[in-house]
Structure 1
Amino acid sequence: MKNQLLCLLISAIVSVTTVQAQTLFTYGKHVVEKDEFLKAFKKNNNGQKADQAAYRNYLDLYIRYKLKVQAAYDLRIDTLPSQRSELESFRNQVSGNYMYDEATLHMLVKEAEANSSKDIRLSHIYIPYTGNDTAEAFRLVTMAASQLKNGRSFEAVATELSRDPSVKVNKGDIGWISSFTLPYALEKIAYGTPLNQNSPVFRGRGAYHIFRPTAERPAAGTVQVAQILLEIPADADRKQTDSVSRFADSLYRELLNGADFGKLAYRHSADNSSYQNNGILPAFRPGTYAPEFEDQAFVLKQEDAISKPFQTSQGFHIIRRLKAAEMVAGSGQEISLPGILEKVKEDERGQLAHEAVIEKVKKLTGFRVLAFDPKAIEANTKLAMINGEPVMGMEYLQYKTGTGEGTEQFFKMKLLEEYRNRLEKYEPEFADQLKEFRDGNMLFEVMQRNVWEKASADEEGLKKFYAQHAGRYRWKENVKTVIFTGTDSATTYRFHQLITKDPAAWRSLTESMNGAIQADSGRFETDQLPVTYHQKPEKGMVTEPVRVANDLGFVFMYIIETLPGKDIRSFEEARGFVLNDYQEKLEEEWVGALRKQYPVTVNQSVLKSLNR
């Protein structure tokens, strides 16, 4: 009875072990698990149906891959300076993606896309303060909020209480804004406040703010203009202003009569940032410049349209519209803004995603604070534990002494240093990326040594291989021809007329074009020709010019001779094909040797279980 129970127990253990054992194949002393193979198959099968035949086909490719990479490791190719340098470069490039929390970043990008779909006309009450002395500013902003609540108009409150220097002119109306033109905290309030309602008081860095959105429109996108600025002195009287105005009108008439805008800007514009560049300003979105300037820029709808002279606090402007980039509709009702992810990372939003990573890293590393006492810091007491290792007070003193805020920043720095330096430990996906890159680089190097360079350098081997297999390398139907390529239609058609009259003089005629026409003579199989014609090629034919796809210009051919095919290519004519086949031969021989060096054993039961 005991023996029976013992046998049943052993059988059960063996059964469980068999179920848990997921080794798909071994090569030498190395093991490949089922999960590793399936992950590689899913990544590389290009939508192929996952059945037993597909698994078996891919298994052979994967075994060959593992054998070659192992050979590279055994040759210590991973220790080469070039390999280490490229791996480190890749690591630095990819690890940056992990410095932002993906979920937070996704949310911020979606919010930015939504905000970027519209522009908002905004009024603003701005009350600054200095340092921590907020008492007077708080009194004023509280008064402003109270007056608005009691029904006084935003314009009146802003005119009286806002400390924005431009409020005397704009009455608090700061014009149209778009996403990314205000600091993120202010943008969030502006876009989050309902139209024609007042926002709550917001305390920002150095000022209190109250906003009121007064209008909205579909996003205007970006516009680029050139300008001529005629400056008006700050103390100018009416006579001086009228004189500048008349001069602006005279320049405007010159422009209408065909004068060069760039030359006039160079001679007369007072804008030091643009007059030497034909008056051209960088492309901008709403909220970049003063409202009265932007209104004129965005109202011009046609490229090269020129505005009448208009006045701002700077002087009189004449602007010429250059180009505009409208917002492009994405999926659904979203807006796809080029570079929006990069903008989010560079913006204050990026810091939010960065802070979310720090919170995640605290959990991953088992971060604990042991002390924040400045006296303890001076005594070099352990301040915290990161990944079981102490962070010492003296390290902090070398970074910054003083406040608890400095201590917190120091710990954040140490946390991210630990996370980035050992990212493979904390992020399995990153570890997989790094291994895949390293193995791929090593595979390229070992293939270069054992196959590609070896074949290219073995001239005797290539000729011997060609002699043994010359029958493989036969011409299909082919032509001896000259292929002419021109970059523009006018030049190509003019040259085509010359060739049609005297095809035999094609060399001298091509030389006379001073590089405007390129000629390539040779023997080509008809299915290799750059264009397909309905008529069959005939000796002496000059084909009609045809525009080639991918903007390669215009092409036509002069057919010198037609050949039926079937004859064997010479070694030089077949060299490319011979080299490719010879490389395949060397690779098969090498893989055969590797199979002897690392004997392969496939677990058939696990293989059969792959598509269950």
Structure 2
Amino acid sequence: MKYIYLYIFCFIFSNLFSQDQVFLSIADEQISIQDFMKTYHKNRLDTDTLSFNDSLDEYLQLYIKFKLKVIEAEQLGLDTIPAFIRELDGYRRQLVKPYLTDASVSEQLLKEAYERLKYEVSVSHILIQADPNDTIEAYNTILGIRERIANGEDFVSLAKTFSEDPSVKENNGDLGYFTALYMVYPFETAAYETKVGSVSEPVKTRFGYHVIKVNDKRASRGEVKVAHIMIRIDDKQQNSQNLSKDKIYEIYDSLIVNSGSNFGELAQKYSDDKKSGSKGGTLDWFGTNKMVKNFEEAAFDLDSIGSFSEPFQTEFGWHIVKLLEKKSLPDFDQMYSDLKKKIERDSRSQKTRNVVIDRLKSEWGFVENQKSKNLFYKIIDDNFLNGGDILQYLNGKGHVMFVFNSSDDLSQRYIYQKDFAEYLMKYRNRFSKTTNTKTIIDQFYNTFKEQNILDIEMNNLEYKYDDFRLLIDEYHDGILLFNLSEEKVWNKAIQDTVGLLHFYDENQDKYMWSNRVSARIYSAKDINIRKRVVNYLKRGGDEANLLERINKKSALNLSLEEGVYELGDNSIIDDNIFSMELNDSKKSDVILIEDSNQIIIILDIIPPSVKPLDQIKGLVISDYQNLLEEKWVDDLKSNYIVSVNDDLFSLAKKNQISLNENNLNLIESNLDCNDFLSCFTNTGKFFGYSQDVYFGWNNQIYTTEIKPVIGNDK
């Protein structure tokens, strides 16, 4: 156990059964009724139509199967494989994040970001990059530039002359409009807090120092959802520019004639953006600064739903855009989850980190020895930068750099100079020989210190928070289940070709085609084109030349879809072919659909038959996997003893199990350090009185060693 805790437990007894009794035993593993019920409630779907009792019965059987597989994986040692340990550690690092944030600060940042999202600002800036060795020089330079602006000099001229932002050559320092969460946090804050027409004070970001001029501030335009048709320009093809332009304007003329009603159909047929074209040209929602500028402006300039733009060109090709929907900024509650995720990835999350670190310092009794850092100012030299070993300057572990008074785990309680030295050596390739040594050490020391504070918290979360323990167990078991199932079921079903073929032969009645038709579906642009097609076919025209002949003047006149169809594959075939009696006499029939100007030619009628294995292999493998899993579970049940406490299960069905939802958290540490004497005494009692036992008090680090006082011949 990593901590000494004083926990307050509440025991509720009902019908003489204590709820912390073992509910389920599988082999040597014992599961409490509370852990089982918490897992049940977490995994039960809102769509579950079973009664509570029936649902519990069903879940218990699933849970037993699940645990049997996990226990088998542990028995096989799969939880000791390095790949498993690395994967679980990766998930754990993600899962700890909510426990390392401060809710009040996070809420404040969320509300601030939301208020800023209500507006879009247009700014220009001048950037002076900062040398880590001499940030003062960069600061003085940017300060001088700001004074010149204040004295009336032209911002654009100064940007062209001094700005070290490479884009200044194209944009004169003008960054256009943006909204919150688009720029780094300090830059965003300055942009939103500076009045329109004014210039900010110097702002420091990771890029250097900026002065920012706010050109405009407007209400958020919200987001738009549009569809588009794109015709790509192929630079390798001769005359591609003109051909693409002619094609987009031909499509535009068709839209004008039909008032845009055929936009989706035209996008599906002709757009070179195949991903959106398959959805009628529909794109995802977007707002300011999310698309190339002229595409964005064309989309936002459309006022009425259903209206479409004239053709315009971007770097990607020619486009026509149709407005599908517009929406303003959603309510705060609707945006909450998405905003939270973005802020966690944003530089403003450092605010939350700072508050958390201060809290953890207090909880863990953190005390640092500032003087122990001074040694490193002397030993970081060219020899170190060239690969030299700095551990030679230390006596063993060296001095203690900081202490966590509240920890009872000696492996975590003390951080020594040796630990910091090894950290510096690990990252020495990030050092710059031109950077001031003290600056380097201070930066790395602060990072090292903060990381150790966070690490001691992360390493003890299972002991502090019961829900975190259950969550980690869930990931632990889930990874093991996946790995063993892959070996025992999924891969086996794929690799066991003989067994798969035998299973397929034994179950062919499951894999039958129903009646099918082979057909061609021609879609004409209008009734006149349809009549031309029908007349051509009636005259015995060669169908192989039909498309070329009809589309000679316009590629939009006629399109073709050909395939083999089963009932349910195609609504046109369903309504016009499968609705009538099928027999061989229908072969070569031509069916006219006047409402939609479509023509169907039946090529063949295919009777019911067994689906070839190579066409349905995925489905057969899935069914074979189910069979293998059933046999595997039966074997596990015969290998491991499963015992259920029916009395506790009965209580659970009556909702008489207290889940104790509140996390068990640190209440009081036995290593109390309210004053120097209590800190000395409690540390000594627990760890012993020795020169190697340390505690921190009032920004100093002491040992618990007791030395006799010698003097006056005593």
TM-score range, shorter chain: 0.5 to 0.7
- 2:282 corresponding residue in structure 1: none
In the TM superposition, residue 422 of structure 1 has moved relative to its aligned partner by 6.7
Match of 1:159 among 152, 169, 178: 152
- 2:80 corresponding residue in structure 1: 79
The residue correspondences of 1:287-298 to structure 2 (distance < 5 A) are none
Q: How many residues align?
A: 482
**Conserved? CA contact 1:181–1:287, under 8 Å:** no
Matched, 1:411 2:404: no
- 2:252 corresponding residue in structure 1: none
Evaluate the alpha carbon distance shift between residue 581 and residue 298 of structure 1 in structure 2; reply closer, same or farther with a 3 A threshold: closer
Evaluate the alpha carbon distance shift between residue 486 and residue 78 of structure 1 in structure 2; reply closer, same or farther with a 3 A threshold: farther
Match of 1:402 among 438, 441, 447: 438
* Cα-to-partner distance string for 1:449-503 (whole Å, 9 max, x where unaligned): 5566777859689969998xx8xx8679x76544558899579x9xx99xx99xx
The residue correspondences of 1:373-388 to structure 2 (distance < 5 A) are 374-375=373-374, 380-386=398-404, 387=407, 388=412
Q: Percent identity?
A: 18
In structure 2, distance between residues paired with 1:127 and 1:82: 46
**Conserved? CA contact 2:490–2:625, under 8 Å:** no
SS in 1 for 2:370: coil
In the TM superposition, residue 46 of structure 1 has moved relative to its aligned partner by 0.9
**TM-score scaled by length of structure 1:** 0.56
Evaluate the alpha carbon distance shift between residue 489 and residue 334 of structure 1 in structure 2; reply closer, same or farther with a 3 A threshold: farther
In structure 2, distance between residues paired with 1:115 and 1:181: 11
Evaluate the alpha carbon distance shift between residue 592 and residue 16 of structure 1 in structure 2; reply closer, same or farther with a 3 A threshold: closer
In structure 1, distance between residues paired with 2:628 and 2:326: 51
In structure 2, distance between residues paired with 1:587 and 1:422: 37
In the TM superposition, residue 70 of structure 1 has moved relative to its aligned partner by 1.4
Evaluate the alpha carbon distance shift between residue 183 and residue 333 of structure 1 in structure 2; reply closer, same or farther with a 3 A threshold: closer
In structure 1, distance between residues paired with 2:19 and 2:517: 65
- 2:579 corresponding residue in structure 1: 535
Evaluate the alpha carbon distance shift between residue 209 and residue 321 of structure 1 in structure 2; reply closer, same or farther with a 3 A threshold: farther
In structure 1, distance between residues paired with 2:622 and 2:651: 38
- 1:216 corresponding residue in structure 2: 218
- 1:438 corresponding residue in structure 2: 476
**Conserved? CA contact 1:123–1:211, under 8 Å:** yes
Matched, 1:559 2:589: no
* Cα-to-partner distance string for 1:53-87 (whole Å, 9 max, x where unaligned): 32222222212222222122122233346544544
SS in 2 for 1:385: strand
In structure 2, distance between residues paired with 1:423 and 1:575: 45
In structure 1, distance between residues paired with 2:41 and 2:191: 46
**Conserved? CA contact 1:486–1:518, under 8 Å:** yes
- 1:188 corresponding residue in structure 2: 189
Evaluate the alpha carbon distance shift between residue 221 and residue 577 of structure 1 in structure 2; reply closer, same or farther with a 3 A threshold: closer
SS in 2 for 1:179: coil
**Conserved? CA contact 1:462–1:579, under 8 Å:** no
In structure 2, distance between residues paired with 1:39 and 1:26: 17
Evaluate the alpha carbon distance shift between residue 418 and residue 320 of structure 1 in structure 2; reply closer, same or farther with a 3 A threshold: farther
- 1:112 corresponding residue in structure 2: 113
Question: Where does structure 2 lack aligned partners over 5 or more consecutive residues?
Answer: 1-10, 162-170, 229-240, 248-285, 303-308, 379-393, 429-436, 539-559, 593-599, 611-616, 657-714
In structure 2, distance between residues paired with 1:545 and 1:65: 56
Letter aligned with residue 43 of structure 1: K
- 1:21 corresponding residue in structure 2: 20
- 2:68 corresponding residue in structure 1: 67
In structure 2, distance between residues paired with 1:20 and 1:450: 36
Match of 2:417 among 393, 405, 423: 393
**Conserved? CA contact 1:466–1:578, under 8 Å:** no
Evaluate the alpha carbon distance shift between residue 79 and residue 296 of structure 1 in structure 2; reply closer, same or farther with a 3 A threshold: closer
SS in 2 for 1:383: strand
In structure 2, distance between residues paired with 1:578 and 1:382: 62
Question: Where does structure 1 lack aligned partners over 5 or more consecutive residues?
Answer: 1-11, 145-155, 225-253, 261-282, 308-318, 502-514, 547-553, 566-571
In the TM superposition, residue 98 of structure 1 has moved relative to its aligned partner by 6.8
Matched, 1:603 2:603: no
Letter aligned with residue 158 of structure 2: P
**Conserved? CA contact 1:465–1:578, under 8 Å:** no
In structure 1, distance between residues paired with 2:245 and 2:519: 38
- 1:40 corresponding residue in structure 2: 39
* Cα-to-partner distance string for 1:339-389 (whole Å, 9 max, x where unaligned): 876764554324334444544554565432133455566774211025543
**Conserved? CA contact 2:156–2:173, under 8 Å:** no
In structure 2, distance between residues paired with 1:115 and 1:369: 39
SS in 1 for 2:191: helix
